[in-house]
Chain A
Amino acid sequence: MDMNEKPKVGEKIEDQKPQEVPEVEAPKLPDTKEGKLVAEVLEKAPYAEGNVRRERRVEFKVPADRIKEFLELASEKFEMLIQISVVDWLKEGEFELVYQLWSVSESVHAFVRTRIPRENAKMPTVMDIWPVAETYEREAHEFFGIVFEGNPRLGPFILEPREYEKHPFRKDFNTLGYVKTIYGEDFDRYDESKTNYVI
Chain B
Amino acid sequence: MSERKNDDFISYELQEFKLFEPLFRWARKKSLWIVAFCTGCGGIEMPPLATARYDFERFGIMPNPAPRMGDLFLITGYVTPKTLKRIIITYEMMQDPKYVLIHGSCPINGGVYWDSYNVVKQFDKYLPVDVAIAGCMPRPEAVMDGIMEIMRKIEDGTADGWKRYRENYEYYRKNQDELFGEGWREKDARRWLAWI
Contact = CB atoms under 8 A, between A and B. Distances in A.
Interface of A: 159-160, 163, 168, 173, 175-176, 178-179, 182-184, 187-189, 198-199
Given A160-B81, A160-B82, A182-B179, A187 B118 contact: no
A189 B122 CA distance: 11
Contacts of B117: 163, 168, 173, 175, 178-179, 182
A173 B116 CA distance: 11
B110 A189 contact: yes
B81 A187 contact: no
Contacts of A188: 109
A163 to B, nearest CB: 6
Contacts of A175: 115-117
Interface of B: 81-82, 109-110, 114-118, 120-122, 179
Nearest to B112: A199
B116 A189 contact: no
Given A179-B115, A198-B109, 9 more contacts: A160-B81, A160-B82, A175-B115, A175-B116, A179-B116, A179-B121, A183-B122, A187-B122, A189-B121
13 contacts: A159-B118, A160-B81, A160-B82, A163-B118, A173-B117, A175-B116, A175-B117, A179-B114, A183-B120, A183-B122, A189-B114, A189-B121, A198-B109
Contacts of A178: 117
A67 B120 CA distance: 40
Nearest to A199: B114
A175 B114 CA distance: 10
Contacts of B120: 183
B179 A189 contact: no
A160 B118 contact: yes
B138 to A, nearest CB: 18
Contacts of A163: 117-118
A182 B179 CA distance: 7
Contacts of B115: 175-176, 179, 189
A43 B120 CA distance: 53
Contacts of A183: 120-122, 179
Contacts of A160: 81-82, 118
A27 B84 CA distance: 53
B126 to A, nearest CB: 11
A178 B82 CA distance: 17
A184 B110 CA distance: 12
Contacts of A179: 114-117, 121
B187 to A, nearest CB: 10
Nearest to A176: B115
A178 to B, nearest CB: 5
Nearest to A179: B115
A188 B81 CA distance: 21
Nearest to B113: A179
The 5 lowest CB-CB distance pairs between A and B, nearest first, are: A189-B114, A183-B121, A176-B115, A168-B117, A178-B117
Contacts of A187: 109, 121-122
A189 B82 contact: no
A52 B160 CA distance: 64
B36 to A, nearest CB: 24
Contacts of B121: 179, 183-184, 187, 189
Contacts of B110: 189
Nearest to A161: B181
